[in-house]
Amino acid sequence: MLTCIACFPSLLGHEYYLSLCDIEYNSDTSSLEITLKVFTDDLEEALYKQGTGRLYLGTNGEADDADEHVFNYIRSNVEIWVNEKEVTIENLGKEVDHDLTWCYVEVSGIKTINRVTVANTILMELFETQVNMVHVKVNNERKSLLLRHGTIKDTVEFN
């Protein structure tokens, strides 16, 4: 599961931009189940700056091609390698819940996992202080990565 959250004002009046990403290995289906949670307005702004026009996510006026644009954004900003082999992310869909957009993707055909590498640049083009935290869970063992400008890619290893 991959979760993204952005823009937390601090007690000092500064804004912090944080993305939380959860990736969970499902051994029954031999897949990585990934969920991204992104503030809708930030996601729309990132897509708009790429030239999509206004998508009006989660409204009655949502653009017909909104899902395609959202998935293309995810695919261009999240890369995953399992056991040093790049894997393909498949789109499962999205849900908009108030200010948050939940995006669901999956990687299938994963028989064993010893090493997971993730590159995540979601919202980094908008926010210089963007931090993307990634949690990877394999066989009840959870490890975390902290990605930001200068360190957009990192690896965790499992026994």
> 130, 133, 136: which is closest to 107 by C-alpha?
136
The confidence band for 100, taking pLDDT boundaries of 50, 70 and 90, is confident
Average pLDDT of the residues of the chain: 89
Residue-wise pLDDT for 9-53, tens only, equals: 443 344 778 778 899 999 999 999 999 888 888 899 999 999 999
> Is there a contact between 2 and 36 (Cβ–Cβ < 8 Å)?
yes
Question: Is the pLDDT at 7 greater than 90, yes or no?
Answer: no
E strands in the chain:
8-9, 15-26, 31-39, 78-82, 85-86, 90-97, 100-108, 115-120, 130-138, 141-148, 153-157
> 152, 159, 122, 158: which is closest to 20 by C-alpha?
122
The confidence band for 5, taking pLDDT boundaries of 50, 70 and 90, is very low
CA dihedral 67, 71, 74, 75 (to 10 degrees): -170
User: What pLDDT, on a 0 to 100 scale, did the predictor assign at position 4?
Assistant: 43
> Is there a contact between 83 and 115 (Cβ–Cβ < 8 Å)?
yes
User: Maximum CA pair distance of the chain?
Assistant: 48
The confidence band for 157, taking pLDDT boundaries of 50, 70 and 90, is very high
pTM of the model: 0.86
Question: Is the pLDDT at 134 greater than 60, yes or no?
Answer: yes
